[in-house]
Chains A and B, each alone.
Chain A
Amino acid sequence: DLTKGRQMFQQGTTPACAVCHTLKDAGTSGEIGPNLDELKPDADRVAKAIREGLGVMPAFTDLSDEEVRLLAEYVAAATK
């Protein structure tokens, strides 16, 4: 699941998470949104941001519940 989550993070969404976020595990260095390695969000917080949007970040309404779960659990695990 973490491998799938990483792929989704890198290129599975439009726009890709990677465009805006730095996440060492995924090898990304976007700077528009917060650096996830510093933020260390838990899965619930990530899922909420993906579904509802947060600040500059849009809501990703096209993603399935399963896709949101994969992404949220991946980001939480990668920054623990």
Chain B
Amino acid sequence: MLSSPRIPERNVTDPGRRRLLGGAIGTFAIGLGGFSQTALAQTVAATGTPVPASKPLPQYTAWKEADALIVHSSNTLETRRSAYGSGVITPADRLFVRNNVPPPDPSIVADPDAWTVAIEGVKNPRSLSVAELKGMGLETTAAVLQCSGNGRGFFPSKPSGTPWTVGAAGCVIWSGVPVRSLAQALGGPVEGVVYMTGTGGEAIPQGVDPKSVLVERSVPIKAMEDALLAWEMNGEPVPLAHGGPLRLVVPGYSGVNNIKYIKRLAFTPKQSDARIMESRYRMTPPGEKGNPNQASIWEMGVKSWITSPGTDGEQMKAGRHMIEGVAFGGTNAVKSVEVSVDGGRTWQEARLVGPDLGRFAWRQFALPVDLRPGSYVLASRATDVNGKVQDELRIDNSAGYNNTSWRDHALPVMVA
């Protein structure tokens, strides 16, 4: 299982190319035919070098900061590695977007209070408007939101799907009604239920099997203790791009489980038979088909990555540098983070900086280092409060999910 360290260094020794790519940041429109560059984007993705700006922001995300994002497609926008800053919380206009199917019409966020969600699998099932939910409880939770495929771009097998490197993740603050309070107010879950199942409000076109397109996910019912039906993100109504007017937030669980535009929340004895639950988002061995016996993509693993310096083609000069990054532990808090400048041969403990916003949020870390001219491989490795250390190597799977490998996320840099 152990393979030799895979430290991609070839592009680092090609400063002309790095300059070229770095210079492309912020030039916004290289041309509308941006996807002819997909091959290039996929090549550089695996090395941590920046992907050139490809195409304009899709209309429902027009309010976002274009220079901070990589537009892969109209349903997939990635935060640039260098765009996270040091403020713990990811601003909404820099936050990634991943929609399985296009978002519903923007009219649904015109009057968020009017949106309704059906609550089923409780003793007194009923439909509730957001206005009614607002009177039933309020909790605010900081949590990492991360697409299941974040880090897919580092898989040498090049799985199908968006080749995200680190940017399909952010740390945001959700406000809404706790699902446990809601369930209690409706008499509690009925006997025999073991899952919490959320169904999204996306429109399904005629002529398509609804189960193939429906965004419906089940998570173990214990997740209801921390889950919210959220109407605010970072203190503002949840934008359409992030699932407004109402989103199921399952802290510590991978992005796909956080159902956007939620229309139905049900406590169920079985998992959903929608394809997105039954055969997609599973830890499917390479070459095999997805099926319900394989592990579903639920809780996130311990993970960290460096966000500065030397990201997205930033040139580094000899001298003192503050190595910064983010670290999280899924449903467990991070205890410590180590940083290496030699690709993991030696480690030093970094300092956790900024506020601790709870076990579902990420921590910022920082370590000052003095670097002489030469080539380095910057790496970070997080440990959670249970002593679980971030994996060195990814677990291979056909769709490229759950990449927590610190080696994949290491950053080769050249110091001049």
Looking at B74, B207, B276, which has the most chain A CB atoms within 10 Å of its CB? B207
**Contact assessment for A54 and B35 in the assembled complex, using a CB-CB cutoff below 8 Å:** no
**Contact assessment for A58 and B275 in the assembled complex, using a CB-CB cutoff below 8 Å:** yes
B135 within 8 A of A: no
Q: Which residues of the other chain, A, contact B35 by a CB distance below 8 angstroms?
A: 38-40
Given contacts A39-B35, A40-B36, contact A32 B209 (CB under 8 A): no
Which residues of B (268-293) have their CB < 8 Å from a CB of A? 275-276, 280
Q: Which residues of the other chain, B, contact A15 by a CB distance below 8 angstroms?
A: 207-209
B213 within 8 A of A: yes
What are the interface flags for A16-57 relative to B under an 8 Å C-beta threshold, 1 for contact and 0 otherwise?
A: 100110000000001110110011100000001100101110
**Contact assessment for A39 and B73 in the assembled complex, using a CB-CB cutoff below 8 Å:** yes
**Contact assessment for B101 and A56 in the assembled complex, using a CB-CB cutoff below 8 Å:** yes
**Contact assessment for A32 and B213 in the assembled complex, using a CB-CB cutoff below 8 Å:** yes
Q: Can you show 28 pairs from A to B with CB atoms below 8 A apart?
A: A15-B209, A16-B207, A19-B206, A19-B207, A19-B208, A20-B208, A32-B101, A32-B102, A32-B205, A32-B208, A34-B73, A34-B75, A38-B55, A39-B35, A39-B38, A40-B33, A40-B35, A48-B160, A49-B160, A52-B160, A54-B160, A55-B160, A55-B280, A56-B100, A56-B101, A56-B212, A56-B275, A56-B276
B192 within 8 A of A: no
Q: Smallest distance from the beta carbon of B234 to chain A beta carbons, Å?
A: 28
Number of B interface residues in the complex (CB < 8 A): 24
Q: Which residues of the other chain, B, contact A19 by a CB distance below 8 angstroms?
A: 205-208
CA A58 – CA B279 in complex, angstroms? 11
CA A35 – CA B72 in complex, angstroms? 12
What are the interface flags for B102-122 relative to A under an 8 Å C-beta threshold, 1 for contact and 0 otherwise?
A: 100000000000000000000
CA A49 – CA B36 in complex, angstroms? 18
